[in-house]
Structure 1
């Protein structure tokens, strides 16, 4: 039993590190006057983690990886929000993906997008004290989520097909 727990911790840490590094590969969209519109590959790795890891591990990997990126960047004010948003995304989406079938994947990716866009809308509204301004960031958030899904889902499917997957019940 200790070996399985150790493996869970190691895999979560590896995915968190990959998410952290991949978040540095980013493009800032010039479509918003606020902080919205950063497209990065960390979201793609989080999508992959939701396929490969159990819910808590996937959530922690995303929360730690992207939260740490925010803390060590000019986006430090976003770190607590990112931690919560990515934790919820990872847990909820990974739980949905435990269900079989293409409809489960589609639903999971829709929920991934809703949590991301809703979470960052709320965070931006709280940070800036304005409930209208965050609307300008939503196209960038949507594009970022779509990039994460378009890159992450096919890679996850390839990894699963080649048995590079650890998603099993504890």
Structure 2
């Protein structure tokens, strides 16, 4: 199979997986109009397997679409920027250093970005709630992605 067609097919599958992990597997956080989801695991897995650019595209488009589908349209432009940049950072640092460094650097950017957005939208009282939820979300996402990457990297990478 043509390499670019296979890559496009995998990206479509990962985009769909990201939307499902964000929209279906999510839990609302009381107050401040926030929700916990498993989308980070998909963004990090794509970053580790395919690198910065695919993770940025999937992270930005898939996550913003998820916000719209979930009923949080005011977050979609913010999410587009934060999740796209998070995916890029995770992919870049994973390739430059190691997978763990990639997810940590992506997570730090994501947490800082959403903390600033929550401050701007809801005031300083939202920041601790946002940071606590995001820390849990990126931690769970990192664990899932690192475990899946370790088990799946040869299957996903061998023909790329």
Q: 1:79 to 1:166 in 2, by over 3 A?
A: farther
* Structure holding more helix per residue: 2
Structure 2 CA distance for partners of 1:96 and 1:25, relative to 1, 3 Å: same
State the partner residue of 2:65: 68
C-alpha deviation, 1:62, in angstroms: 1.4
Cα RMSD of the aligned pairs, angstroms, is: 2.1
* Helix, strand or coil at the partner of 2:96: coil
Find the partner of 2:156 among 149, 161, 164. Answer: 164
3-state DSSP of counterpart to 2:27 = strand
TM-score, reference length from structure 2: 0.87
Q: Which has the higher contact order (CA 8 A, sep 6+)?
A: 1
Instruction: State the TM-score, normalizing by the size of structure 1.
Output: 0.82
Query: What residue number does 2:32 align with?
Result: 34
Unpaired segments ≥5 residues, structure 2: none
Alpha-carbon distance in structure 2 between the residues aligned to 1:137 and 1:55: 25
Q: Contact 2:3 / 2:159 at 8 angstroms: preserved in 1?
A: no
Conserved in 1, the CA contact under 8 Å of 2:94 and 2:100? Answer: no
Q: What is the CA distance between 1:7 and its match in structure 2?
A: 3.6
